[in-house]
Amino acid sequence: MKRLLAALIGSLLLIGWHFPAIGADLPVKAAMAPAPYVTYDPFSGAYIGVNGGYGWNLGSAQAGIVPLGDFSIAPQGFVGGVHAGYGSRVGQFLYLGAEGDIGIATLTGTAGVPGIISMTSKNTWMGSLRARAGFIPVGHALIYGTVGYGFGSGSFTVADLTTGLSASTNPTVSGLVWGGGLEIPFSPNWLGRVEYLQYDFGTMSATLPTTGTIATKDRVDVVRAGLSYKF
């Protein structure tokens, strides 16, 4: 019995000695690779796009210190064109960039003193070069402010209704432009935006022999939407 028990223990020890080696020779199934996690930054890089919306001119006219009428609800119409720029995320939440845009405007309106004087103000095209800065509070949404240099075409005509005389000026106007907006990506390459801009183009003036020089403030406010393609 003692010999049988010793032989059994010896056999178990022998099997235990050789089992790890046998297991080492078995093929090991490769570990499953983790699924790739796809991320992208929709705001960093160059882009081009189109925009369109509505504009109005809050200018007012006066002869010397005498007010002759305002254009607060008169010159208004469609504005739209193209834009291009470059921007980059700074850290996790901040954004810095630069943008230029140019387009047409159909703002036109009249004001004046009935039966005495009539004034017409127009803006036919506008553009700007602006810096953009903002923050990305949650995921893929950019809230930004913008400021820069605006320029465009202005037109101001004054008519003396008592004499039939008229005078006009058609300058290239320029000045400060500022505003802000919200931009949201639809995909890695397409972004949509809504924004507000105000163009302060200074004054335009025209001179008549009977009324002297009449000047009008030329300030255009724009609300527009845009679509951009980021390279």
Whether residue 17 is contained in a domain is answered as: no
Determine contact, residues 164/208, Cβ cutoff 8 Å.
no
Overall domain count for the chain: 1
Rounded CA gap, 24 and 200, in Å? 80
Residue 188 inside a domain? The answer is yes
Q: Return the structure tokens found at 210.
A: 């009977």
Q: How far is CA 34 from CA 27, 37, 166, in A?
A: 21, 9, 78
Query: Would 56 be classed as within a structural domain?
Result: yes
3-state secondary structure of 75: coil
Is residue 17 classed as helix, strand or coil in its secondary structure? helix
Assigned domain for 29 exists? no
Q: Taking Cα atoms as reference points, which of 71, 94, 78, 91 lies closest to residue 142?
A: 94
The 10 Å Cβ neighbour count of residue 225 is: 14
In whole angstroms, give the CA distance from residue 180 to residue 222.
11
- The upper half-sphere exposure of residue 119, i.e. CA atoms within 13 Å in the direction of its Cβ, equals 29
Distance between CA atoms of residues 158 and 34, nearest Å: 74
Q: In the chain, what is the greatest distance between 2 CA atoms, to the nearest angstrom?
A: 142
Three-state SS at 165? coil
Residue 218 falls within a domain, yes or no? yes
Q: Tell me if 165 is assigned to some domain.
A: yes
Does residue 171 form part of some domain? yes
Scanning the structure block, which residue is given the tokens 């400021």?
Answer: 147
* pLDDT tens over the chain, length 231 residues: 445 334 433 443 343 444 344 444 444 444 455 444 446 788 999 999 999 999 988 777 777 777 776 665 566 899 999 999 999 999 888 999 999 999 999 998 877 778 888 888 889 999 999 999 999 987 678 999 999 999 999 899 999 989 999 999 999 999 999 999 999 999 889 999 999 999 999 988 889 888 888 888 888 999 999 999 999
Domain holding 195, by residue range, is: 45-230
Backbone angles phi, psi at 24, to 5 degrees: -70, -25
Residue 58: the pLDDT is 74
Identify whether 69 is part of a domain.
Answer: yes
Selection from 101, 119, 99 nearest residue 206 by Cα:
119
In three-state secondary structure terms, 209 is coil
**Cα 137 from chain centroid?**
17
Q: What is the pTM of this model?
A: 0.77
Give CA–CA dist 207/223, Å, rounded.
33
For residue 59, give both structure tokens: 């200018």
CATH number at residue 119: 2.40.160.20
pLDDT of 137: 81
